[in-house]
Amino acid sequence: MYPCPDCGKELDTSPDTVLNEPYVPQEGDIMLCPQCGYLMAFSHDLTIRELTEKEAREAVLDPLVRAALQARKEALS
């Protein structure tokens, strides 16, 4: 468990299951804080880190990231 760098919510970064398939995050994968919507990335050791400026620019253009942000927004309204 690691705190979100923005709001402090404890985030579970352990491997998970996505669509009934085991999923282990890879270095550079983007993570979205469900509480505040902050975007961050996984480090090589599965801790979380701030996005680089380049990663942040790319993330906001990524269709999957945009869809996750929109889904979060809709779930909160």
- The residue written with tokens 């979060």 in the block is 72
Query: What is the rounded average pLDDT of the residues 12-29?
Result: 74
Looking at per-residue pLDDT, the higher value among 38 and 11 belongs to: 38
Give 22-54 pLDDT, tens digit per residue.
Answer: 778 889 999 999 899 999 999 998 889 999 999
Rounded CA separation 40/3 (Å): 11
Domain boundaries defined on the chain = 2-76
Note the pLDDT of residue 5.
92
H/E element holding 30?
A: strand 30-32
